[in-house]
Amino acid sequence: MTRRSIIIVSAGLRSPSSTRNLADQLAAAVRRRFEAAGESVDADIVEVREHAHAIADALLVGFPSGDLADAIRRVEAADALVVVTPTFQGSYSGLFKSFADLLDPEAVRGTPVLLAATGGSERHSLVIEHSLRPLFAYLGAVTVPTGVYAATSDFGGAGAAALTARIDRAVGELLALAGQPERPGQTGAPGQPDRPGAPGAPGQTGAPGQPERPGAPGQTGAPGQTGARGVGRPRRAEATGSPRSTPARTPEVTPFAELLAQVRGTGPAR
């Protein structure tokens, strides 16, 4: 059985931090759900804070080295990613973005990614949709539909149960993408089989996955004629001699200056 590698990227700036707390909860849920599905998994955390100085150096000299280079290789080689960032000024942290800037865009293309963030209040919950999801869409990653946002009140308070439910749902979606073995010759999204009639299939001229329609090439005429959709249907009889409806008259509009003159008694009465 192939052992899956799931990397959890935690970009908290403090130790301990709510971001690392959420990362630990996500890592535990990944191990639990994958093992329950019979998948052998390694769920390891990359703590970006530990590489902060090396990240700045790499941005200045143009390449990473040492432990940072090893962390980047692990992220790029992972079967799936979980990324967690704190929210600053309505977006991801600068440390998180600097780490992401060092990734090879082609290396994470097609990789399933679970997006998560922490913040001081619920008002920042859209950081996942407005900042994280566009970033990973640019990198070509496949993000799971459910994002996990945790406010301060979600840790040990009334929102803890709802947070646990969101984590479980998001990890289940990650399992659906990353837990399926790649099929030989797969060209679609991760975990999806090739469709008959995919691009390059013999004889295909229509849209991907659709059989060729009779009469489609060189099609002329309106729908209902031979060679068009609805082959063999008679053309609707053309209406002849039917009276055309008379358009409603637009009411006459009196200019404002004339209305004002009437009010003042200086204009013509109407």
Our separate counts of H helices and E strands in the chain read: 8, 7
Q: Are 127 and 84 in contact (CB under 8 A)?
A: no
What pLDDT score does 179 carry?
62
For the chain of 270 residues, list the mean pLDDT of each consecutive stretch of 10. Answer: 90 92 96 91 96 96 94 96 95 96 93 96 91 96 96 86 95 86 42 43 45 45 43 44 56 69 63
What is the per-residue pLDDT for 157? 76
Q: What is the pLDDT of residue 123?
A: 86
Q: What pLDDT does residue 185 have?
A: 40
What is the structure's pLDDT at 147?
96
Q: What is the pLDDT of residue 220?
A: 44
Distance CA 229, CA 8 (A): 51
Q: Find how far residue 58's CA is from the centre of its chain.
A: 29
Please check whether residue 221 lies inside any domain of the structure: no
212 is a domain residue: no
**What pLDDT does residue 193 have?**
43
Whether 21 maps to a domain, the answer reads yes
From residue 173, how far is each of 165, 178, 187, 223 by CA, in Å?
13, 9, 20, 42
SS3 label, residue 135: helix
Q: What is residue 266's predicted lDDT score, i.e. its pLDDT?
A: 59
Residue 258 lies in a domain: no
DSSP output for 28-48? HHHHHHHHHTT-EEEEEEEEG
Nearest CA to 166 out of 110, 122, 120 is that of 122
pLDDT at residue 247, as a whole number: 57
Domain that holds residue 149: 3-178
Query: In this structure, what CATH number is given to the domain that contains residue 70?
Result: 3.40.50.360
Tell me whether residue 26 is in a domain.
yes
Give domain status of residue 101, yes or no.
yes
Q: Is 171 part of a structural domain of the chain?
A: yes
Tokens for 167? 């984590």
Kindly provide the residue ranges of all beta strands, DSSP E only, lying in 107-200, ordered along the sequence: 112-119, 142-143, 148-151
Q: How far apart are CA 76 and CA 57, in angstroms?
A: 20
pLDDT recorded at residue 180: 57
For the purposes of burial, counting CB atoms within 10 Å of the CB of 122, is it exposed (0-12), middle (13-18) or buried (19 or more)? Answer: middle
Pick the closest to residue 19 from 97, 118, 88 (CA basis). 118
Domain tally, the chain: 1
Written in H, E and C, the secondary structure of 161-182 is HHHHHHHHHHHHHHHHHHCCCC
Q: Which of 13, 14, 38, 41 is nearest to 26 (CA)?
A: 41
**Is residue 238 situated within a structural domain?**
no
